[in-house]
Amino acid sequence: MAKISEQLKSFARKSTSNEQQDVQLYPLILSAKELMTGQFKAQMTLLELCDLETPVWVRVNPIQLEQVLINLLTNALQALEGQAERVVQIRLQTSEQQIALFVDDNGPGVGIETLPHLFEPFHTTKKNGLGLGLSISQQILHSMQGTLSVATSPLGGARFTITLPRFTPLNMD
């Protein structure tokens, strides 16, 4: 099992460049949203972008951060299966030093028994899940000096929070 995990991690590392760039966060979020729009429509789920008007810069690998966002949106969508009303929100909070990006849903939330193992490789609550998405997402964010955490959402389901250092470019043309 450990050998498989290492091979998958190695593949994930090789499949994307680790090059970080100074990017505005909003276009990255829009790109992830556009990639997921078809799935959200098919599942009759509302995807809302809230409080994202402020231009915010971060130093990240944009492809990897987009992968993390898509993983969190996919997880939220799957958590909402069977819900009558389905809502996912992406919300931004900033300070001078860092940004916090929240992905909230109104699903059942994360069970107390699952919390200690949530970011462990191969831990899954899904019938057909591999249990690697959150573990890899957390590793990606750590490589960017960021974090990934979970809490209860104001919507009643899960809130996954991405924190990253805020970056101010020297030339803001």
Q: Are 74 and 114 in contact (CB under 8 A)?
A: no
Alpha carbons 106 and 76: distance in angstroms, whole number? 9
| Prediction pTM value | 0.84
- Residue 3 belongs to a domain: no
Residues near 96 by beta carbon (within 8 Å), at least 6 away in sequence: 166
First to last CA, the chain: 50
Residue type (1 letter), 5: S
Structure tokens that stand for 103 in this block: 């992905």
* Contact present, 56 and 132 (Cβ < 8 Å): no
CA dihedral for 30, 31, 34, 35, sign (positive or negative): negative
pLDDT, block means (10 residues), the chain with 173 residues: 52 62 94 95 93 88 96 93 92 94 93 73 64 86 96 93 90 56
Q: Give CA 66 to chain center in angstroms.
A: 8
Nearest to 121 by CA among 103, 136, 142, 101: 136
Question: Count of domains in the chain?
Answer: 1
- CATH code, 113: 3.30.565.10
Is residue 9 assigned to a domain? no
Range of the domain at 48: 20-147+160-167
Q: Is residue 83 part of a domain?
A: yes
Residues 6+ apart with CB under 8 A from 113: none
Residue 7 lies in a domain: no
Residue 152 in any domain: the answer is no
Answer whether residue 155 is part of any domain: no
The pLDDT of residue 9 is: 55
Q: Domain for residue 69, yes or no? A: yes
Rounded to an integer, what distance in angstroms lies between the CA atom of residue 92 and that of residue 48? 12
111 domain-assigned: yes
